[in-house]
Amino acid sequence: MGARHPARLYSPRLLAAFQSYLPSYLGRHFNAVRVARSGQMPRLERPTVIYSNHASWWDPLVLLLVSGRCLSGARIFAPIDARALERYSILARLGFFPIEPGTVAGARAFLETATQLLAMPATAIAVAAQGRFADPRERPIALQRGVSRLLADRSDCDALPIAAEYPFWEERLPEALLRFGSVVRAEPDESPDALHRRLERALETTMDELAFDAARRDPAHFQPLLSSRRQGVGFVYDTFERLRNRVKGRSFERAHRSIDS
């Protein structure tokens, strides 16, 4: 491996420090980060490609938080546009490696690097498999071919679909919602096209199930990984509610869903 191979640049200490900062940062922008209880919490016991839809700019940061809370024990690497990595070079220390999107050379380099990484113990690759930002309600979903090409002829490797969306519920800040789907494995003599269609169906099913849970707007259906300290509608409204509850002899709860109208 060359000196600039992702595994050589990866810094567990820096990643741990960044993950300890993430709750504070995400807590300023989200009411909560939640994982659907209807999905199975994964155990990465084999080389794994974690593939997801690409709902938002927030996807990588939310995944970093989730990996620290739910996928501990595995080193997770992820491709990123080479131009972005050149601008934010510190991301290479967190497991990101450069690719040239939309080029044959870039696809070849991704497969080569990802194959080398998956050959290492306790290692996973995370990929925003749609390759572009897309509304989580878009159907049918279309994935790029990198994941299926990576998994073809690899019976030792799992593919784990993750769905993500960021809806607003009752609070001023949005929710970050995720759901783990069922593992997909390449079958003997399965064609790359057939595997690709199964990967698309598995992710689409996971997204549909997350959408169903999200539409119920009930936190009880989710396991909270992070709850913001900034719950509430805003300073003026919260101040009014404090005064109203004081007059009625009740304690003030900042969460909007707790307000008794």
pLDDT in tens, 109-144: 999 999 999 999 989 999 999 989 999 999 999 999
Pair (82, 70) in one structural domain? yes
Specify whether 152 is located in the same domain as 252.
Answer: no
CA distance 99 to 97: 7
217 and 244 in one domain? no
* pLDDT(221) > 80: yes
CATH for 213: 3.40.1130
Residues 64 and 180 in one domain: yes
Q: Looking at the domain assignment, is residue 46 inside a domain?
A: yes
- What residues make up the domain containing 23? 6-228
Closest CA to 195 of 157, 147, 126: 147
**Are 256 and 167 members of one domain?**
no
Q: What is the pLDDT of residue 237?
A: 47
187 in the same domain as 121:
yes
Same domain? For 168 and 240 the reply is no
In a domain, 245, yes or no: yes
Per-residue pLDDT tens over the stretch 164-186: 999 999 999 999 999 999 999 99
Domain tally, the chain: 2
Do residues 30 and 86 share a domain? yes
User: With 70 as the cut, is the pLDDT of residue 256 above it?
Assistant: no
Whether 105 and 195 share a structural domain: yes
Same-domain status, 248 and 178: no
Q: What is the 3-state secondary structure (H, E, C) of 60-80?
A: HHHHHHHHHHHCCCCEEEEEE
176 half-sphere exposure, CB direction, 13 A CA radius: 26
Same domain for 133 and 43: yes
> Does residue 250 carry a pLDDT above 70?
no
- What percentage of residues in the chain have a pLDDT greater than 90? 70
Residues 178 and 261 reside in one and the same domain: no
- DSSP code string of 107-134: HHHHHHHHHHHHTSTTEEEEEETTSS--
pLDDT of residue 6: 93
pLDDT reported for residue 212: 97
116, 117, 122, 124 alpha-carbon torsion, rounded to 10°:
-130
Single-letter code of the amino acid located at 168:
F
Q: Is residue 1 part of a domain?
A: no
In a domain, 260, yes or no: yes
Number of C-beta neighbours around residue 184 at 10 A: 22
DSSP 142-196: ---THHHHHHTT-TT-EEEEEEEE----SSSSPEEEEEE---EEPPTT--HHHHH
Average model confidence (pLDDT) across the chain: 88
| Helix and strand numbers, DSSP H then E, in the chain | 8, 9
Distance, in Å, from the CA atom of 159 to the CA atom of 79, rounded to the nearest integer, reads 16
Q: What was the pLDDT predicted at 59?
A: 95
Domain-embedded: residue 188: yes
- Three-class SS state of 138: coil
